[in-house]
Amino acid sequence: MESELGAAAAAPSKRARSSALRAAWRVSLVFLGSCTFLLVWIVVKSTARSKEHLYELAARWTGHWARYCCWAAGFRVSVVGTPPPNGVLIAPNHLSYADVLAMGSLLPCFFVAKLDVESWPFIGTLFTISHNIGVPRTRVKALVEATTQIADRLRAKQSVCVFLEGTSSGGNRLLPFYPPLVQPAIDVGAQVCPVAIRWTPGDPAIDIVEDIAYWREEHTFGPHAWRLLGFSGIRADIQFGEPITSEGHTRKTLAAATQDAVSNMLGLPIAHTASDQR
């Protein structure tokens, strides 16, 4: 499987046709729908009776928005296994920004993303106003604040989805999982649920590595998303593994156990560094 993916990425081939008309229609649906959801959320959040109630409302709102966006984008999402209960750290592999929509459509949760997503036009507003969590690239003090926020959500019995690879990949290897971001699960005694995400194109000419995954330096969000939304028959298959109890683990052993579980579900090797993915 690995060699086939590598050969497909290296061999020149005719790219699948993306419909500009379909992309324009879907972009309009996503934008207008998201504006409506944003206005609704501004009203709904004002009804929160406590911090815990606010988190519950925010996670539920994010789920409704993600399901709508999957519908508008034409993504189908199928499930293998049983989604975990609330209050679990969810740890999937990461190929694309579309992973957030697929995961969010299945269960209410908060997402952890690189802090620079907050600066993205409109998307950043949706991310911050719904109390998702930004993680800095370098600042240690801010990283501590992010892990504190993750623990805060878990204590409130809300699930948090963390892409422990730290970045998206081309999908032919699993990148190393980042141990500090599982520490909140240990601190509050929460379980960690390993999750395997697979994207399947309706047209075999659609290249998962280039057209769905978003990981190369030359990928630019606008053109990449426009092309993706112009395809039909895109499906996300999401497999939930057995939750792992954090008790008795250090953050390194817990991250390693979670990584092994995701690797086994995907049937992919684990890269030693991010550069091994290229």
Strands 110-114 and 133-135: parallel
> What is the pTM for the complete model shown?
0.88
pLDDT-derived band at 166, boundaries 50, 70, 90: confident
Domains and CATH numbers, the chain: 2-9+16-277 (3.40.1130)
pLDDT-derived band at 7, boundaries 50, 70, 90: very low
Summarize pLDDT for 77-110 with one digit per residue, the tens.
999 999 999 999 999 999 999 999 999 999 999 9
Mean pLDDT for the stretch of residues 15-43:
96
217-220: long-range pairs with CB below 8 Å, 24+: none
Q: Could you tell me which of 111, 215, 104, 220 has the C-alpha nearest to residue 163?
A: 111
What CA–CA distance (Å, rounded) separates 4 from 43?
Answer: 50
Measured from the Cβ of residue 122, the count of other Cβ atoms closer than 10 Å reads 11
Identify which has the larger pLDDT, 263 or 128: 263
pLDDT for res 168: 86
Q: In b/e form, how buried is each residue of 30-46, taking b as 16+ CB within 10 angstroms?
A: beeebeebbeebeeebe
Which uninterrupted H or E stretch holds 48?
none
Residues 6+ apart with CB under 8 A from 73: 26, 30, 98, 101, 228, 229, 234
Mean pLDDT for the stretch of residues 185-201:
97
Q: 3-class DSSP state for residue 88?
A: coil
Q: Residue 33: what are its φ and ψ, rounded to 5°?
A: -65, -40
Token pair listed for 182: 């599982």
